[in-house]
Amino acid sequence: MSSFVPENVHLRHALLFLFHQKKKAAESHRLLVETYGEHAPTIRTCETWFRQFKCGDFNVQDKERPGRPKTFEDAELQELLDEDSTQTQKQLAEKLNVSRVAICERLQAMGKIQKMGRWVPHELNDRQMENRKIVSEMLLQRYERKSFLHRIVTGDEKWIYFENPKRKKSWLSPGEAGPSTARPNRFGRKTMLCVWWDQIGVVYYELLKPGETVNTDRYRQQMINLNCALIEKRPQYAQRHDKVILQHDNAPSHTAKPVKEMLKSLGWEVLSHPPYSPDLAPSDYHLFASMGHALAEQHFADFEEVKKWLDEWFSSKEKLFFWNGIHKLSERWTKCIESNGQYFE
């Protein structure tokens, strides 16, 4: 057996190598024990160095300690975060007069993680938040008395672009900028998808040709077409007294008088839906969200290719996918109430 005894700096270089090999601290400790036996660092030491590496500090030399290092309490750090949670580690370190590595280690110990700020569809005012909460309370109370989600048919519109770039992730050095990806050109080739579905699957959809839009007359005709599709695909509605409950948003074409009169003649109920609430619309939070991921990196040569892709994608989804989308509504009404009408994650 070799009599080689590694120095601390040698072991730290080995840890740095394993870190860049994407090894975990525990696995690195095991490999060093297999190689150096009793001379290997402890698991705690390995974890300490890995925390430093994750903070972007790759200096494996012992740091000079001219005096007692500056310490700070978690409460001080939390107070700064409460003031502004978007501050960088550098900004926090400067305010507390400590190193950025110390801030990084304390944030990790406190269980803090960094999240990208999210876009919201609308800046809600107090009245709109109150309306969202009231409607959610009303619908949740009705659901708790007797479930009606199996009667819901929901629908909406979505632009389908012919060119769909995908944002790419890269392994980069600290401070190195990531690659940029242009969003789909909203003025480029695209077609509008109009789709209606229930807990079983897609009932009816249309793909509008270039230049076509959804106005009052078009939407009224779509309701007639949807009714014909329901008669053909969902005969159970004609066999029972429960009527269709239509869930759609408050777009002008959806709420126009001719459309309301048509829905009344069909005997359908329209489910209450507060304005500016895609987080309470199954097509937005479920169907289109899933479709958006599937569309990444898709390139369509023409209208027919888009239609073929949609037919295949819809048919690939199991019944449980659609059931989950509809039956999440009660959970989302609850979250809206708990957040006092604000948008929720």
What CATH number is given to the structural domain containing 18? 1.10.10.1450
Q: Is residue 1 part of a domain?
A: no
Distances in whole angstroms, Cα of residue 155 to Cα of each of 67, 226, 255, 265, 296: 67, 10, 14, 19, 22
The angle subtended at Cα 311 by Cα 320 and Cα 162, nearest 5°, is 120
Say if residue 103 is in the same domain as residue 132: no
What CATH number is given to the structural domain containing 152? 3.30.420.10
Say if residue 304 is in the same domain as residue 190: yes
- Distance, CA of 16 to CA of 131 (rounded, Å): 55
Say if residue 323 is in the same domain as residue 211: yes
Q: What's the pLDDT score for residue 72?
A: 61
Say if residue 284 is in the same domain as residue 225: yes
- The residue length of the chain stands at 345
- How buried is 151 (Cβ within 10 angstroms: 0-12 exposed, 13-18 middle, 19+ buried)? buried
Q: How many CB atoms lie within 10 A of CB 153?
A: 24
Question: Which residues on adjacent β-strands are paired with residue 205?
Answer: 195
Task: Give the torsion sign (CA, 230, 235, 238, 243).
Answer: negative
| pTM for this entry | 0.63
Say if residue 84 is in the same domain as residue 135: no
Phi, psi of 86 (to 5 degrees): -95, 5
Count the domains in the chain. Answer: 2
- Distance, CA of 140 to CA of 268 (rounded, Å): 20
* 243 closest CA partner among 259, 262, 266: 266
Encoded amino acid at 343, one letter: Y
Say if residue 147 is in the same domain as residue 94: no
- Distance, CA of 98 to CA of 90 (rounded, Å): 9
> Are 25 and 50 a contacting pair, CB within 8 Å?
yes
Q: Could you state, in chain order, the average pLDDT of each consecutive group of 10 residues for the chain (345 residues)?
A: 73 91 89 86 87 86 54 74 78 82 80 59 86 96 95 96 72 56 65 96 94 92 96 83 89 95 95 94 96 90 94 96 97 96 87
CA atoms within a 13 Å half-sphere pointing along the CA-CB vector of 137: 11
Encoded amino acid at 60, one letter: V
- Distance, CA of 4 to CA of 345 (rounded, Å): 55
Q: Is residue 343 part of a domain?
A: no
- Distance, CA of 292 to CA of 115 (rounded, Å): 21
The runs of H, that is alpha helices, within 21-99 are: 25-36, 43-54, 74-83, 89-96
Q: What's the pLDDT score for residue 81?
A: 79
Locate 154 and state its tokens: 């929901």
* 104 closest CA partner among 162, 149, 54: 54
Q: Is residue 43 part of a domain?
A: yes
Domain that holds residue 287: 126-168+184-338
Classify 11 as helix, strand or coil.
Answer: helix
What counts of helices (H) and strands (E) characterise the chain? 16, 5
Q: What's the pLDDT score for residue 244?
A: 94
Q: Is residue 204 part of a domain?
A: yes
Q: What's the pLDDT score for residue 178?
A: 57
- Distance, CA of 213 to CA of 234 (rounded, Å): 28
* 195 closest CA partner among 321, 287, 329: 287
Q: Is residue 281 part of a domain?
A: yes
- Please give the helix or strand (H or E) that residue 196 lies within, else none: strand 190-197
Q: Is residue 179 part of a domain?
A: no
